[in-house]
Amino acid sequence: MDKNFYITTPIYYPSAKPHMGHAYSSIIADFFARFKRIDGYDVYFLTGTDEHGLKIQRAAEKKGLDPLEFCNVISKTFKDLSNTLNLTNTDFIRTTEERHKKSVQHLWSELEKNDDIYLSKYSGWYSVSDEAFYNEDEIEELDGVKVAINSKSIVEWIEEESYFFRLSKWQKPLLDYYEKHADFISPESRKNEVISFVKSGLKDLSISRKTFSWGIKVPNNKNHVIYVWLDALTNYLSALNYPEINNELYKKFWPASIHLIGKDILRFHAIYWPAFLLAAKIDLPKKIYGHGWILTGDEKMSKSKGNILDPIKVIDEYGLDALRYYLIKEVSFGNDGNISQEKLEDCNNSDLANNYGNLCQRVTAFAIKNCDGNIPNKINFQNDDLLILNKYNDNLNNIRKNIDNQNLNFYINYIVNSLFEANKYFNDQEPWKKKDDQERLNTIVYTALEIVRKISFLLYPIIPESSLKALKIFNISENEINLSSISNNEYLIKGNYINKIDILFKKIERSND
């Protein structure tokens, strides 16, 4: 069984500062990366920035900067964001890097070699900000300016020589591929959209531009730069040193396990990208997952409410783990989700502070007071104890299966239920009434500590920082966390010292506005 896992986020377009959508994609990807890592997989987790194109070139000119200088600055804000989000990405790729340029040009040559590229002429309405051409029927006039109907962005008439990719030729192979690989596009509803789009007919795709220079040059024709999407998508390969397909990274991690993307860029990933790869005779990624958007609902955008969409500000105010937890718990994965201050506060207080944080606190405080500050030595499990402990064992494969199907909500609900059960167990067993029966008291404490440990392992991919803080109780460090050990009921070493820990989650005073 292949124990390698390659997950990617989209590479972000640094023409504006990071927003919640970027944070969401990255956090979800990091969740999967961490989960797979503690389950014994060798994980390659890629994120980065997409830095070419006319939009960037113009933004740089506006600031009087060289495009690369401009990108250096903004790319860094995204790199900083990945630190702020505590991402465990193994690599951060920039499309302005030499390794990427080589990959893209090689991929181009392959497409050309296989007769999938031809030179022709294109004329049409082009939107710089959308990086897309529009048909006459896709634009309208607004205040005397021509704009794209969908995006309302300004379009300009462009007529130029352009290279084309024979996308039309791949319509049938793509449809066959979708049919043979039922999991290729997820969730199901997105897959249906893609299929119906492809069925409606594919036109050849213009894949070069002459009107600006900020991009990767077409091999053997310096007048053209390569279309940004062909450029950008290739990052998934260039990070693995493509075209050196015999190198360690490429052999190990291609094809990618999953490209995690937002639903807005599904077409590029589920149609163009596979077509390019088919044409270049490269294996296709195993799955494209188009997740939903994070919305604020239709609340008025007061100053404070507006901030809820700025991940940095949210993290400043509530902490990273509160945000990570919220996005994974409260958003039905695959659908759009809402975020609001009230719900974030609610979620932090009830799930994290009251339920998980307090459980850690009550169990350790009790253990320290009543078991000499050590993990109890002399224990004797009874049915009640084994019943709750074994539940983790029984569900391990179920958990894995659900994660492989991106069923995040199953995972978190499983944890939340476990927390309820854990608190109930401690309540029902009433160890504070067992002070005349030290062995029973010890057993209850040991069981409760084991549960805290197991749950903290499970929470690690979601709220890594807090999970690690909790695991300090047992002096367990990050590299010791492994999923399969949640089936071990006596993982904790008896007699070891128990560390008192600080409050894990402060409760947030309810803001009333």
Q: Nearest CA to 317 among 289, 297, 356, 345?
A: 345
Q: What track of x and - describes contact with RNA for positions 237 through 276 (by CB under 7 A)?
A: --------------------------xx--x---------
**Residues within window 367-406 making contact with RNA, judged by CB under 7 A:** 369
DSSP state of 339: -
**Residues within window 465-504 making contact with RNA, judged by CB under 7 A:** 503-504
H-helix segments, 254-357: 266-267, 273-279, 303-307, 311-318, 320-330, 341-347
Contact 212, 226 (CB under 8 A): no
Instruction: Count residues near RNA (CB under 7 A).
Output: 52
Instruction: Report in angstroms how near the CB of residue 234 gets to RNA at its nearest.
Output: 23
Q: Does 136 sit near RNA (CB under 7 A)?
A: yes
DSSP state of 411: H
- Closer to RNA by Cβ: residue 245 or 301: 301
Contact 291, 263 (CB under 8 A): yes
Among 211, 307, 355, 487, contact with RNA (rule: CB under 7 A): 355
- Closer to RNA by Cβ: residue 10 or 14: 10
Instruction: Report in angstroms how near the CB of residue 366 gets to RNA at its nearest.
Output: 4
In sequence order, the β-bridge partners of residue 156 are 126
Instruction: Report in angstroms how near the CB of residue 2 gets to RNA at its nearest.
Output: 29
Instruction: Report in angstroms how near the CB of residue 404 gets to RNA at its nearest.
Output: 17
The CA distance from 335 to 295, in Å, is 11
The CA distance from 20 to 230, in Å, is 26
Among 119, 145, 182, 365, contact with RNA (rule: CB under 7 A): 365
Residue 400 identity (one-letter amino acid):
R
Containing 11, the helix (H) or strand (E) segment is: strand 4-12
Among 53, 357, 461, 464, contact with RNA (rule: CB under 7 A): 357
- Closer to RNA by Cβ: residue 218 or 266: 266
Q: What is the 3-state secondary structure (H, E, C) of 258-280?
A: EEEEEHHHHHHHHHHHHHHHHHC
Contact 344, 314 (CB under 8 A): yes
- Closer to RNA by Cβ: residue 28 or 60: 28
Q: Does 507 sit near RNA (CB under 7 A)?
A: yes
Among 86, 90, 358, 377, contact with RNA (rule: CB under 7 A): 358
Among 423, 443, 467, 489, contact with RNA (rule: CB under 7 A): 423
The interface region with RNA, picked from 247-255, 351-359, 380-388, 454-462 by CB under 7 A, is 351-359
In sequence order, the β-bridge partners of residue 158 are 124
Q: Does 142 sit near RNA (CB under 7 A)?
A: no
- Closer to RNA by Cβ: residue 354 or 377: 354
- Closer to RNA by Cβ: residue 43 or 463: 463
The CA distance from 185 to 274, in Å, is 11
Instruction: Report in angstroms how near the CB of residue 357 gets to RNA at its nearest.
Output: 2
The CA distance from 3 to 294, in Å, is 32
Question: How is 441-481 classified by DSSP, letter by letter?
Answer: HHHHHHHHHHHHHHHHHHHTTTSHHHHHHHHGGGT--GGG-
Among 332, 382, 390, 499, contact with RNA (rule: CB under 7 A): 332
Among 140, 179, 248, 490, contact with RNA (rule: CB under 7 A): 140
Among 98, 428, 436, 509, contact with RNA (rule: CB under 7 A): 428
Q: For the chain, how many residues are written?
A: 513
Q: Using omega within 30 degrees of 0 as the cis cutoff, is the peptide bond preceding 376 cis?
A: no
Instruction: Report in angstroms how near the CB of residue 293 gets to RNA at its nearest.
Output: 9
Q: Does 189 sit near RNA (CB under 7 A)?
A: yes
The CA distance from 419 to 421, in Å, is 5
- Closer to RNA by Cβ: residue 215 or 337: 337
Among 338, 393, 395, 485, contact with RNA (rule: CB under 7 A): 338
Q: Does 432 sit near RNA (CB under 7 A)?
A: yes
- Closer to RNA by Cβ: residue 311 or 337: 337
Q: Does 346 sit near RNA (CB under 7 A)?
A: yes
The interface region with RNA, picked from 56-64, 237-245, 274-282, 364-372 by CB under 7 A, is 364-372
Please give the C-alpha separations between residue 1 and each of 40, 41, 482, in angstroms, as whole numbers: 12, 11, 18
Residues 6+ apart with CB under 8 A from 351: 325, 329, 416, 419
Q: Region of 142 please: left (phi>0), alpha (psi -120 to 50) or beta.
A: beta
Binding site for RNA (CB under 7 A): 136-137, 140, 189, 192-193, 196-197, 200, 263-264, 267, 297, 330, 332, 335-338, 343, 346, 349-355, 357-358, 360-363, 365-366, 369, 416, 420, 423-424, 426-428, 430, 432-433, 503-507
